[in-house]
Amino acid sequence: DTGVSQNPRHKITKRGQNVTFRCDPISEHNRLYWYRQTLGQGPEFLTYFQNEAQLEKSRLLSDRFSAERPKGSFSTLEIQRTEQGDSAMYLCASSLTTVNNSPLHFGNGTRLTVT
């Protein structure tokens, strides 16, 4: 079990640029989630996938944000035309839905700084 892996760990970008983050979930997990965490706050749900299908998106996810999980394995989160308010830690998590659902397993996150 290699855990949930996120890349990059840190990203600094200028306002207006596009950024893309990658998440590799635990291999047998069919669900993948994205959360955002700002300083001093708990994580907030953004979106989740079951296999390759995106099942739900939070209203926090503006149209500048897009997430994909094309083959039901890794996922990418892209932010277009970044704003300073996008600065946060972006957390990915995965889980396995069976009769006894596993809890979410989180990665180390990608810290985004928009200057």
Partner 1 sequence: AQKVTQAQTEISVVEKEDVTLDCVYETRDTTYYLFWYKQPPSGELVFLIRRNSFDEQNEISGRYSWNFQKSTSSFNFTITASQVVDSAVYFCALSEDEGGSEKLVFGKGTKLTVNP
DSSP string for the chain:
----EEE-SEEEE-TT--EEEEEE--TT--EEEEEEE-TTS--EEEEEEETTEEEEE-TTS-TTEEEE-TTSS-EEEEESS--GGG-EEEEEEEE--SSSPPPPEE---EEEEE-
Q: Segment contacting partner 1 (CB under 8 A): 16-24, 64-72, 75-83, 86-94?
A: 86-94
Identify residues 3-32 at the interface with partner 1 (CB under 8 A): 31
Nearer to partner 1, 45 or 74 (CB): 45
Of 89, 90, 112, 114, the residue at the interface with partner 1 (CB under 8 A) is 89
Instruction: Give min distance, CB of 52 to partner 1, in A.
Output: 16
Q: Which stretch binds partner 1 (CB under 8 A): 17-25, 34-42, 59-67, 75-83?
A: 34-42
Among candidate residues 46, 6, 54, 52, the one with its CA nearest the CA of residue 26: 6
Q: Which residues bind partner 1 (CB under 8 A)?
A: 31, 33, 35, 40-45, 48, 56, 89, 91, 93, 95, 97, 101-109, 111
